[in-house]
Chain A
């Protein structure tokens, strides 16, 4: 197979040695079917064992390997080197996140937001599993299924300037997951989740940049989830205004 050589420029930041990040350049021979992650693995195995990044499944589902590639947040396991032929490929840690080392970012903020939206089924009354499944129609499933496909890769946060300007913003993935539970016919936790997603730093912070949905590698469309949450919240508020005594 034909081999080309890619020039890879990677952000290095080693907190024990460096006060500032810098770029380091590597030359990587590659075949047509190699992805950026393969190049990083080549560098780590053959050139520089200290290059640090996360990865695992190399098939676009574990969500570990996000990075900014030529400025765009992408999964390194799903970005082919040949798409950058003839150019230097710049790989940086995902924007907006604090960097722990090289390409490894701190995602504790998201982990906290995830807990905040209560990403579990809330029911008034549980039925024991022995009695079988909660029935759900294909249409009911479709109302939330795309939003349940979020792999928590954080690309949407890296793409969101609103999050970049205000890290308190609940953000795309967490809202998509909140909406996933709100729309699940088995869930009865709307009243618990609505105040959370509609608070000051919740969905109303979103001013529709739309880049979250552009970069999502799983077609989740978090922007859609945020706007639908706004619509649900607005209609709910209107309803309680018009019919103060119940009427849900």
Chain B
């Protein structure tokens, strides 16, 4: 309402360092960046599989044995775990389970999901590799 003269409002730009303002923002940005490693790892893995498909299993294994690739895989593993953990935590925050009068805490979901992840991974390894 009112068309009378208006003095300018102060408009503030979001600083490019905004994500350093507090711990939560930083963790969020790190989580977002980890997805880059997940994507790179996927590309790498697809390339490896293509080697196997067009060549031999040995090409694939040689590719994987490259120290740079091993190093990268380790880094990607750490970031993937970080990414997974933050999502599990968020899952717990978004869909808490009500037990009696209290609700489950996000960290409980995190722990439960990690336990489930380990069990499923071992099951998969057992089914595919060991059996």
Inter-chain contacts of A95 with B (CB < 8 A)? 12, 14
Inter-chain contacts of A93 with B (CB < 8 A)? 10
Inter-chain contacts of B25 with A (CB < 8 A)? 161, 209, 211
The contact string, 1 if C-beta is below 8 Å from chain A, for chain B 68-109, is: 000000000000000000000010011000000000000000
A164–B18 touching, CB < 8 Å: yes
Which B22-43 residues have C-beta < 8 A from chain A?
Answer: 22, 24-25, 28, 32
A72–B22 touching, CB < 8 Å: yes
With beta carbons under 8 angstroms apart, the residue of B9, B10, B19, B94 that contacts A161 is B19
Whether, in the assembled complex, A195 has its beta carbon less than 8 Å from a beta carbon of chain B, the answer is: no
Count, chain B residues at interface, CB 8 A: 18
Inter-chain contacts of A208 with B (CB < 8 A)? 28, 90
Q: A192 vs B18: C-alpha distance in the bound complex, in angstroms?
A: 36
Q: How many pairs, one residue from A and one from B, have CB atoms within 8 Å of each other in the complex?
A: 55
A71–B21 touching, CB < 8 Å: yes
Q: A93 vs B10: C-alpha distance in the bound complex, in angstroms?
A: 10
If A161-B18, A161-B19, A209-B24 touch, whether A13 touches B94 (CB-CB below 8 Å) is no
Which A205-238 residues have C-beta < 8 A from chain B?
Answer: 207-211, 213-214, 223-224, 227-228
B14–A209 touching, CB < 8 Å: no
B93–A224 touching, CB < 8 Å: yes
* Closest beta carbon of chain A to B25's beta carbon, Å: 7
**Which residues of B pack against A, CB within 8 Å?**
7-12, 14, 18-19, 21-22, 24-25, 28, 32, 90, 93-94
Nearest first, the 5 A-B pairs at minimum CB distance are A15-B7, A99-B10, A98-B9, A164-B14, A227-B94
